[in-house]
A and B are shown apart, each in its own frame.
Chain A
Amino acid sequence: MSEHYQLRVNGESRPVNDAWLGESLLYVLRERLGLAGTKNACEQGECGSCSVLIDDVLVCSCLVLAASAMDREISTVESLAPDGDLSDVQRAFVEAGAVQCGFCTPGLIMAVHDLLDQKPSPSDLEVREAISGNLCRCTGYVRIFDAVQRVAAEREE
C-alpha cells in the first residue's frame, strides 16, 4: 500500500498515493480519484459498465491495472460534459428515453461515442454489434438504438 504514481485522466495529471499495485483502473478512478461515473457491475469485462478510453481505445477499466495506464491518456464519462453542457450522445439518451436505472448508461455513452467517432452512419446491426458488450437490464436496448440513430442523423445534417 505504498506506491505513488501519476495518471493522466481527462486531460489532467492526477497523483495516486499510497496505493496497492494490484488495484484496477476502475477501482482507482472510483475510489481514489473520486470519478464514480465509471461503474462496477461485473468486474470481469462482461458488462461494459466500466468502459473508458485509453489512448482513444475503448476498454473495460476493470480489466486494466491502474499502474499500467501510466503515461497514457485516460478519458472517462466525466470528460464529456465538464461544464454541464451535454454531449450529443448524452442529450440523445435523455431525450430518447434510453435511461432507466442509469447504471449501464455511462459505459454505453462511452461506447456509443466511440462507435460514432469511427463509423458516423452505422447500420442497425452495426449498432447492435458495437454495443453488445454493454449489458442493460432495464430497457431492452430499444430506446438506446433510437438514441444512437438520432445522433447519427443529427451529425449527418
Chain B
Amino acid sequence: MSQTLTPPRTQAPRVGTSAPRPDGVPKVRGMFAFSSDLWADGMLWGQTLRSPHTRANIRSIDISAALATPGVAAVLLHDDVPGRKIFGLEHPDQPVLAKDEVRYQGEPVAIVAADHPETARKAADAIVVDYEPLTPVCDAEEAITADLLHPDGNIFRSLTIRRGDQAATGEIVIEGTYEVGMQDQAFMGVESGMAMPCEDEGVELYISTQWLHADQQQIAASLDLPDDKVRLTLAGVGGAFGAREDVSLQIHLCMLALYTRRPVKMVYNREESFYGHVHRHPAKIWLRHHATARGEIVKIEGRLLLDGGAYASTSSAVIANATCFANGPYKTPSCEIEGIVVRTNNLPCGAMRGFGAVQACFAHETQMDKLAAAVGCDPVEIRLRNAIAPGDTIITGQEITGTAPVRELIESLSRHPLPPPRQDGGGRQDGGDRQGRQDGRGRAGRQDRQDEGDSASQHTSMADPGGAGRTADRSRIRRGVGYGVGVKNLMFSEGFDDYSTASCLLEGDVATIKCACAEVGQGFVTLSQQIAREVLGVEEVVLAPIDTQIGSAGSSSASRQSWMSGGAVMRACEEVRAKLLAKVAVEHGFAQDDAEDLLECADGRVRSKDGLLDMSLEEAVGDENIFVELEYRHTPTFPLDENGQGNAHVAFIYAAHRATVDVDLDLGLIRVVEVATTQDVGKVLNPLQAYGQIEGGIAQGVGLAVMEEMLLTDGQVRNASFTDYLIPTALDMPEIAIVELIEQPEPGAPFGAKGIGEPPAVSSLPAVAAAVRDATGLDLPRVPIRPQDIALAAEKL
C-alpha cells in the first residue's frame, strides 16, 4: 500500500518529532464535541429558507402560516437584522437575508427557529415567497459587459502584471486556453453551531470556523452589538479547506438566539452545505509562452477569467494569487498577464486550498508540457531549464530572498522509480518505456499477498479503471505518466496587517498556551504543545479554550498558521523563558543580561551551562507565575502597483508531483495508480502530520483532476449531494510516494518551517491531467477530465 515512508513511531513530544495529537483519543472514542454535537436545555432548532431561483425579484414574503405552525418560535427576515444588513470577509456585499432580490440559487431568504428540526423545516416550507424570476447571467465573459447584477458592479477586481520587454518574442510560441471546473471543499462536518443568549444582552456562539475574530466582527456589525458582546468559542471543526473562512450560519444563529432568548442549534444537511459555503472559482485561462529554441521562457502573455459567483467573498485576493503565479515557478523575464474576477449569478466562490494557484498551475503546467514537446525534450528537462531559484525575481518584481529549491524538487522526483508496470501484459507501458526509468522493482511484501490470493484476478480488476464494475477491456487500458510543479505564497499578501496573538502562562512546571488559531484538523494543537515543550523544556502543556477571549490569530488558511500562530506561541514561550531565566539569574548571582547565555530550560529543569546550577522548573518558577501575551507579525508586504509590481508576498513554497495513470480508452475511466511527490517544507515540525497534509492535499488534487465538479445549468446546481458530487474514496485513492521533503530552513520563519497544507493540492492536479494526456494523446484542456472527454474521442486513439 502507500507506505513509501514509514513514519517514526516515536512519541517524543518536541519540534521535529511525530508527537501525537492531543485530541486524537477523544476523536477515536466519539467523545470529541463537534459543532453539530452540541445540546442545551430548552434548545431550539434553526432552519434556513433559500431561494430556489438563480436570480429573481422578491415581490412579497408571507410568513403567517409558518408562524402559526405549532412549535415555531421565530421567523425572521431581512428587516429583522438588527444592524448592518450585509456581510462579507473582504468587501461586505452579501445580504444576511435577501430583501428585494436573490442573486443565486440557495441564497438565504428567511430563518426559522422551532422545537424540532422537522418542525423548523416544515415551517420554512410554509413561508410563501412571491418571486419574479429574472434572466440570470451565468457566463463569466458575458458578466463583464452585462447589466449590473449588484449595485457594487460586476467586476470584483481586475489587475495586470506587466514586466520586462513587451516587444520580446521567441522562436517558439505556444498557446492554449484552459478551463477548471467548480470544486467543492466537501468537508465531512457540515456547517453547524449553537448560539446562546446572555444576560448582558450579548450572545455566545459555539461554532466551526477558520477564523473566529473575522466572524465576530461581521456578527457584531449585523447584530449592532459591540464586539465584546459577541463571544465565540471554537466547537469541534469537521474539516475546512477554505469553506469556513466566510460566514454561513453564524449571524442567523445569533439573530434567532437573541430574538427567542433561547439556545438555538443549526445543522445544515449535505445538500444545504453545497449552497451554504463558497467554492473554488471556475476559471478560463489563456496563456501564450514565447521561448527560445531550447525552451527557455522569454515572455508570457495571459488572461485569467475567474467566475466569482454572486458575492465578493475573497475573490479579489484569489485573482491576485492566480495572476501572480500564472507563470509558475519559472524564470520569466517579460510578461503581460491580465486577471479578472467577475460577479455572476452562480454560487459564490472564495477560498479553497490553493486559492487561485490551483487554477493557474493547471494552465502553466499544461503549457510547459507543450513547450517540451515543441522543443523536443522531456517534461522534466523543460522544467529544469526554467526553474526559478533564490535570488531570482518573480513577475511582480519581487526578489526571492528565501529558499526556493525548485531544481532539487524536480531532480529528486525524477530519480524516483516509476511504479511497477501492469501485471497483465495488456496495453502499452508507455510511461515506463518512454521515460526509460522503469526499474521493475518488486512490490512491498504486503502487496505480494494479494497476488497470491485465490481471488487474485478479482482483485486485479478492482485495481483497473472502473474498479468494481470490471467493465474495462483490458487490452484497451493505456498507462501514462505526467509531471506538475507548483508554487504558492504563504500567508496574507498585498499589505494586509497579518498577525497572530498567543499567550503563555508558566505555573510551576506546567505551561498553558492560549491562541485563537482555529484547529480544523490540521494539527496546530499538536504543534502548539511541541513548540512550548521545545522552548520551555516542560512536559505538560495545557491548551486553553480556543475562543475570542484573546486577540485574533488570523485565519487557518493560506498555509499560514504554522508560521504565524506557531511564531506567536514560540515568541510568547521565549519571552516567558527570558523572564524566568532573568529571575533565576538575579536569585543566584548571575549577570541578568547574560541569563540566556548562561542558563537554559530543558527537560523540566533550569540549568546553568557550566553545570553548577541545576534546579527543577517548579522550584525556579516558585510562587511567581510568569505570563506573556503578544502579537506576532511577519515582515510587511506591499500592494501591487498599476503594473502589478511590488513586494506583495511574504514567502513562497514549492512542490513537484508525478502521476501515473491507467486509462480505459473505450469507457474514459481513469485509475490514478500513483502520485509521487517532493515538497519544499523549510523544516518538518511533525513528520506524521506533514505526511497527512501532503496525502490529503493530493487526494483533493486528484479529485479535481478526474471526478470533482459542481455542475450548474443556468445557475441551478445539478449535483448537490454525495451521490452526485463524487470525492475520492479509499478505492479511488492512488498510492502516494512521498519521495523527499526538502529541508532548507526558511529565513525569518519560526524554526525555519514553511506552511505545507496547500502545495499538495496545487501541482498534483496538472500532473494527473498530464498523465492522462500521455496515456491518450488527447489535448484535454479542461479539468475535471470527464469520461466523455476520452471515450468520445476514442476513435482517434
Contact = CB atoms under 8 A, between A and B. Distances in A.
Contacts of A77: 29-30
A124 B238 contact: no
Chain B, interface SS category: loop
A96 to B, nearest CB: 8
Contacts of A94: 20-21, 24-25, 28
B612 interface: no
Interface in B416-473: 446-447, 449-450, 453, 459, 462-463, 468
Nearest to B43: A31
A34 interface: yes
A145 B30 contact: no
B1 A100 contact: no
Interface string B177-208: 00000000111111000000000000000000
B723 A97 contact: no
A20 to B, nearest CB: 7
A128 B2 CA distance: 12
Nearest to A87: B28
A144 B723 CA distance: 23
A61 interface: no
Contact of A86 (B1, B3, B25): B25
Contacts, number: 214
Given A44-B723, A86-B29, A127-B730, A142 B188 contact: no
A2 B188 CA distance: 33
A36 B270 contact: no
Contacts of B116: 1, 20
B24 A124 contact: no
B730 A141 contact: yes
A55 interface: no
Given A30-B37, A81-B29, A97-B689, A135 B729 contact: yes
B758 to A, nearest CB: 14
A100 B20 contact: no
Contacts of A1: 116
Interface stretch (B129-137, B520-528, B560-568): B520-528
A104 interface: yes
B9 interface: yes
Contacts of B31: 37, 78
A132 interface: yes
Nearest to B698: A140
Given A93-B28, A97-B689, A44 B270 contact: yes
Given A137-B239, A141-B730, A47 B188 contact: yes
A27 B265 CA distance: 14
Interface residues of B, number: 73
A103 B236 CA distance: 9
Contacts of B728: 140
A143 B730 contact: no
Contact of A20 (B118, B521, B688, B700): B118
A78 B30 contact: yes
A136 B732 CA distance: 12
Contacts of A145: 1-3, 730
Contact of A103 (B7, B25, B34, B449): B34
Contact of A101 (B25, B239, B688): B239
B638 interface: no
Interface in A137-157: 137-146, 149
Interface string A59-76: 000000000000000001
Given A30-B37, A138-B239, A46 B731 contact: no
A76 B31 CA distance: 12
B27 A105 contact: yes
A15 interface: no
A152 to B, nearest CB: 10
Of the candidates A36, A80, A102, A131, the one having the most CB atoms from chain B within 10 angstroms of its own CB is: A102
Contact of A142 (B118, B729, B733): B733
27 contacts: A27-B117, A36-B34, A39-B36, A43-B270, A44-B723, A47-B188, A47-B270, A49-B188, A100-B521, A103-B239, A106-B28, A109-B28, A123-B446, A123-B453, A124-B1, A124-B447, A126-B450, A128-B462, A129-B730, A129-B731, A134-B730, A135-B729, A139-B695, A140-B698, A140-B728, A140-B736, A141-B730
Interface of B: 1-3, 7, 9, 18, 20-21, 23-25, 27-34, 36-37, 39, 116-118, 185-190, 236-241, 267, 269-270, 446-447, 449-450, 453, 459, 462-463, 468, 520-523, 688-689, 691-692, 695-700, 721-723, 727-731, 733, 736
Interface of A: 1, 20, 22, 27, 30-31, 34-44, 46-47, 49, 76-78, 80-81, 84, 86, 90-91, 93-97, 99-106, 109, 121, 123-129, 131-146, 149
Given A102-B27, A124-B446, A138-B692, 19 more contacts: A35-B30, A38-B30, A41-B189, A42-B721, A43-B269, A47-B270, A86-B28, A97-B7, A97-B691, A100-B521, A102-B28, A103-B238, A126-B459, A138-B239, A139-B695, A140-B699, A141-B733, A143-B692, A145-B3
